[in-house]
Structure 1
Amino acid sequence: MERHLTSSIALKPRTRYWQWFLFALLALMCHTGRCNEVSQVGSAPSEWAVAESSSSSSATTYVADADFDVMPTEVRVAAGTTAYLSCRPRSLRNKTVSWVRHRDLHILSVGRSVYTKDGRFSVYHQRHTGEWTLQLRSVQLKDSGLYECQIGTQPTRSYFVHLQVVEPTTSIFGGPDMHVHEGSPVNLSCLVSQAVGQPEFFFWYHNGQVMEFGGDRTEKRQYFPETDVTVSSLLIKAAHVSDSGNYTCQPAHCPPVSAKVYILKGEQPAAMQRSGSALMMNAAGYWWRLSLVAAAMCYSSYSVGLLTLPMSVFLFVSLTSVPNFG
């Protein structure tokens, strides 16, 4: 039924011809070479490269001190989890180890004593390895930055660890609304990215109740380390009317995401009309994208003044036209 509606979408003939005519006119003007501003703009990338190289050269580079064993200098964790920053001095000689946060130059700890009112921080020392670990629970985005492990010598010896806190994102493929005929399978895929590894668990809820898997309801989980994406797929082999409702995916330490599933019993004109409205909006969005492409192409090649009138006419006709159903 949706396929039939897709094929029936058509723009009004008169509006459609004007849109293609104006688009072709703009494209022709962009490639005739009436303006020479392209050669003038060509020098910009080299200036940007100089600015980029100059800014990068002024950045401070931190090199591991020879008085420390090699430990991770980049720690990447998901928001809401616990971060562990470690350093291992080779020889303390009765000197004190301190942790300093570079964002505000705040001394977080000296030895095993913590000097901050933030109760999320704690320090651990392993005697057999000589490792000093700064623990930060329930990390937040603002905790990102550089942390320094210092030995109280003269001059001071330091080991730098950069903490990066990322915020996980979740989405449901196939949502937010899904229309399925009774007896057909239902497949909802919950995608989690920026979680720094696989979430410890996934909870699925149906109308606020925790789902139990087994029989015709199964859950499959996949992890793709190259993109740091985890997918939890919920499959219902044969949908019944009772399977309608709200489905929520709740991964560990990640925001929940929901989708509504409508089980169609026979022909449902209301559901078909909702699908038709979505298709109409997609057609209107197509002309939006076409207009923006034309504007960007001409703006990058010529002066704005030369194309102000034709661009304005084209954008007005394209953005105000609404597809109809024939």
Structure 2
Amino acid sequence: MITLLIYLAPLAGVILTLPQELLPGLVDSAELQYGGIESGQTASDSTGTGASLSSLWSYSTVTEDRHGNRYDHALHGDQHELTPYFQDYDNTTNITAQLGSTAYLNCRVNRLRDKTVSWVRRDGSKIKLLTWGLHTYSNDARYSLSFEHPNNWKLQIKYTQRRDQGTYECQVSTHPPKVLSVRLNIVAPVVEIIDERGASVQEKFYKTGSTIELKCTISQMPQAQTFILWRHGDHMLNYDTSRGGISVKTDMSSSVIVSTLFIANATPTDSGNYTCSLGDVATGSVLVHVLNGEHPAAMQHGSGTKDLCSLSLVLVLAVLTTLLNTLHASHAR
């Protein structure tokens, strides 16, 4: 110890002989580099210069985290072992969210210490700041930081739109910054109303007194949902108790949801446009005709039969006209 003091004495003497106006700057620089001065002394204390320098010297290899835990780098290794790192080791993450839903982009950071986490949106060479720490800097109210204890700095995007698709970066304020890239994909469900053969249908015919059966399929859904809305015009049918005889059955599989609407004892008033929808995200529709007396098949093929009759009538009239003209010409001779 005495030997160490002998070697350090000249250096301490040089420091103490520096002009007084340079000492605060030296202390300020040291405070920025080592994170603070011990014993309540600050860089602006003109009377505590000796104590401040002593504190700076004694803490040259010791740091303290936000929880008050001290770490001696001289005893436990290099300072790089204390730098923040992402818990998810993959540098790029892909997230798929349904159009209109809430998307969550995770960023789990370990050993953050005094560093700050921020989220930015990258569009080519353009970068837009979304959050810094717990604060949101986006003008779009759909974006917010939802911190999840103990280390997840989660970006939340409500009511996702197609324009939200793209690359986001979670950045930690190290030098250089540590970056975790997240690719957000937005998908829209596909809604179709199908017939008995599974083909998409735009129009259906039923006879009075029969049961209307409309089948709706929803595919390409990254998030499982079972609440499908059926409407007749603007009237919602799922909870209709005034008419009676209305029921909805929903079957889920791994890839497709099938919702079937049943309406018993159909009457002409049940005719009209029916829609199957998944919120405001996607909708399928079909036009229903409830016929009095005439069989639905006759109506479906009626147009073709009428066209054939019209063509036959035209041919008969043409033949008769030709015969009459021929007879008139022979009499004229």
Corresponding position: 1:70 with 2:88: yes
Partners of 2:231 and 2:178 lie apart in 1 by: 53
| Structure with more of its chain in helix, by fraction | 1
> What are the equivalent positions in structure 2 for 1:8-87 lying under 5 Å apart?
67-70=85-88, 73-87=93-107
Equivalent residue for 1:222, pick from 245, 251, 260: 251
Aligned to 1:130: 151
1:140-151 aligned at under 5 Å gives the runs 140-151=161-172
Whether the 8 Å CA contact 1:181–1:239 is kept in 2: the answer is yes
Q: Deviations over 1:54-105 (max 9, x none)?
A: xxxxxxxxxxx99211289221111122111111101102100011212132
Q: Give the count of matched residue pairs.
A: 213
Which has the bigger relative contact order, CA under 8 A and spacing at least 6? 1
Give the corresponding residue for 1:118.
140
Aligned AA for 2:168?
Y
Aligned mates of 1:253, 1:70 — CA distance in 2: 34
TM-score w.r.t. length of structure 1:
0.58
Match of 2:286 in 1: 259
Q: Report what 1:105 is aligned to.
A: 127
Structure 1 pair 168–268 and aligned structure 2 pair: CA distance change class (3 A)? same
Structure 1 pair 183–236 and aligned structure 2 pair: CA distance change class (3 A): same
> 69-78 or 177-186: which moved more?
69-78
Q: For residues 253 and 194 of structure 1, what CA distance do their matches in structure 2 show?
A: 16
Q: Tell me, what secondary structure is at the counterpart of 1:256? A: strand
Q: Distance in 2 between matches of 1:74 and 1:279?
A: 56
- Identity across the alignment (%): 35
- Alignment of 1:95 onto 2:115: yes
**Cα deviation 1:7-60 (Å, max 9, x = unaligned):** xxxxxxxxxxxxxxxxxxxxxxxxxxxxxxxxxxxxxxxxxxxxxxxxxxxxxx
Structure 2 stretches of 5 or more lacking a match? 1-82, 196-200, 307-333
2:222 pairs with 1:196: yes
Q: Does 1:160 align with 2:181?
A: yes
Work out the CA distance in 2 between the residues paired with 1:210 and 1:116.
37
Instruction: Tell me, in whole angstroms, the C-alpha distance in 1 between the residues paired with 2:163 and 2:304.
Output: 39
Once residues 305 and 186 of structure 2 are traced to their aligned partners in structure 1, the CA distance between those partners, rounded to angstroms, is 39
**Structure-2 change in CA distance of 1:151 and 1:222 (3 Å):** same
- The 1:78–1:109 alpha-carbon spacing in structure 2 relative to 1, beyond 3 Å, is same
Question: Once superposed, what is the RMSD of the aligned Cα atoms?
Answer: 3.0
Q: What do the CA deviations read for 1:184-231 (whole angstroms, capped 9, x no partner)?
A: 322111222233233352222223222235763211111222x2x222
Higher Cα Rg: structure 1 or 2? 2
Match of 1:176 among 202, 219, 223: 202
